Amino acid sequence: MLPSRLPIILALGSLLFACSGADDADRQAAVARESEAVDPPGVAQALSLAGQFEEEEMTNYDRAIACAAALRISARSLAPMTSGETSREVQMIGSAANLFAKRAQSAEGSAGKNVSDDIEARIAEKQGDRTGQAQLAITCANSLG
């Protein structure tokens, strides 16, 4: 079991920042725009660090698959920014991904499904959206409570 979700969330937050792709000029322009405009209602939630599930009516199996895939994508993206696949951060994120894979195996409706294949298919589908997957990984890590 994971000793604490804080290191995972910190590692994923760093990954999210690194994946955002914004440079200093973009940040300065954004700060200037923020000081000139007032955000419309609902913007704060849309810009929150944690993501949301694409479909609120996902099954427990689908949520576990989505979380396992998002965490694995995030771990792969984080590895080059740390000491590699063996870094503590990557290992902890991998442990969380494995926990969600186990949840998928025991979820209702998982009979006859191949969890590993479904996770790999989800990774192949979503690996281009590193920022979105990092946000979802944070949401998943928060759900470990």
> Which pairs from 19-22 meet CB under 8 Å and 24+ separation?
19/77, 19/130, 19/131, 19/134, 20/131, 21/131
Of the candidate ranges 25-34, 58-67, 97-106, 127-136, the one whose mean pLDDT is the lowest: 25-34
Mean pLDDT in residue range 91-103: 96
Instruction: Report the pLDDT value the prediction gives residue 85, as an integer from 0 to 100.
Output: 92
Instruction: Report the pLDDT value the prediction gives residue 109, as an integer from 0 to 100.
Output: 86
Work out the pLDDT band at 1, boundaries 50, 70, 90.
very low
Range list of H helices, the chain:
6-19, 24-36, 43-46, 60-78, 88-106, 115-126, 130-143
For the chain, the structural domain boundaries read 6-143
pLDDT in tens, 8-51: 766 666 666 665 555 555 656 665 555 555 555 655 554 555 55
